[in-house]
């Protein structure tokens, strides 16, 4: 298995679940007659990023990781508030960009050192970066986004988080 296989297909699969969560959030808002956009400001603790920022972070990870693994400058993160429609559009665009990534673009990435923007002068071996930092952070924000919706009464369940899995007959 390569770093490509260990990260991008699954990040895309999880990101691809977010529109399902947003569908359920919008259905809940319609049923309860509230503005679904208010959910984007919801949090589980007052000093935590709200839902909108959690989703922005999930969106940013695949292309950020893709840039870092080839030694390119990562795209600037989107941190200005976005509407649900804007988030949906960026999810769609990001999924297209991630599906265009080719495993061979990342040949040799295993041997790179990834610089850490928050620790000048320090970096991590690329496999350590993927497994100890990128994936845990990605799942952290994905689960937190899901949990904020769950805590607000939206009918999301584990299957909405995991999404379809690749089955085979025994």
Give the list of residues 6+ apart from residue 6 with CB closer than 8 angstroms, or none: 130, 131, 135
Give which of 69, 49, 60, 92 is closest to 5, Cα–Cα.
69
Stretch binding a second copy (CB under 8 A), from 33-41, 65-73, 93-101, 147-155: 147-155
CB of 103 closer than 8 Å to CB of 60: no
Give which of 77, 76, 127, 90 is closest to 106, Cα–Cα.
127
Number of residues that bind a second copy (CB under 8 A): 48
Smallest separation, CB 89 to a second copy (Å): 25
| ∠ CA 62-66-71, rounded to 5° | 150
Stretch binding a second copy (CB under 8 A), from 19-27, 28-36, 83-91, 128-136: 128-136
Binding mask 72-111 for a second copy (x = CB under 8 A): --------------------------------------x-
Smallest separation, CB 85 to a second copy (Å): 26
User: CA-to-CA distance for 53 and 75, rounded, in angstroms?
Assistant: 16
Residues near a second copy, by CB under 8 A: 1-3, 5-6, 9-10, 13-14, 44-45, 48, 110, 113, 115-116, 119, 121-125, 127-128, 131-133, 135-137, 139-140, 143-144, 146-147, 150-151, 153, 158, 161-162, 165-170
């Amino acid at each position: 298995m390569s770093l490509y296989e260990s990260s991008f297909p699954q990040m895309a699969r999880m990101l691809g679940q977010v529109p399902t969560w947003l569908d359920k959030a919008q259905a809940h808002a319609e049923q309860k007659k509230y503005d679904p956009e208010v959910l984007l400001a919801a949090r589980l603790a007052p000093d935590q990023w709200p839902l909108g920022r959690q989703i922005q972070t999930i969106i940013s990870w695949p292309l950020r990781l893709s840039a870092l693994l080839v030694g390119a400058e990562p795209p600037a993160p989107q941190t200005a508030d976005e509407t649900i429609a804007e988030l949906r559009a960026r999810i769609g665009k990001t999924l297209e960009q991630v599906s265009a990534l080719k495993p061979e673009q990342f040949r040799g990435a295993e041997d790179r050192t990834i610089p850490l923007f928050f620790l000048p002068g320090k970096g991590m071996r690329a496999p350590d970066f993927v497994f100890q930092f990128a994936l845990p952070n990605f799942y952290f924000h994905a689960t937190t986004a899901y949990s904020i919706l769950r805590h607000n009464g939206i009918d999301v369940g584990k299957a909405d988080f995991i999404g379809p899995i690749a089955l085979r007959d025994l």
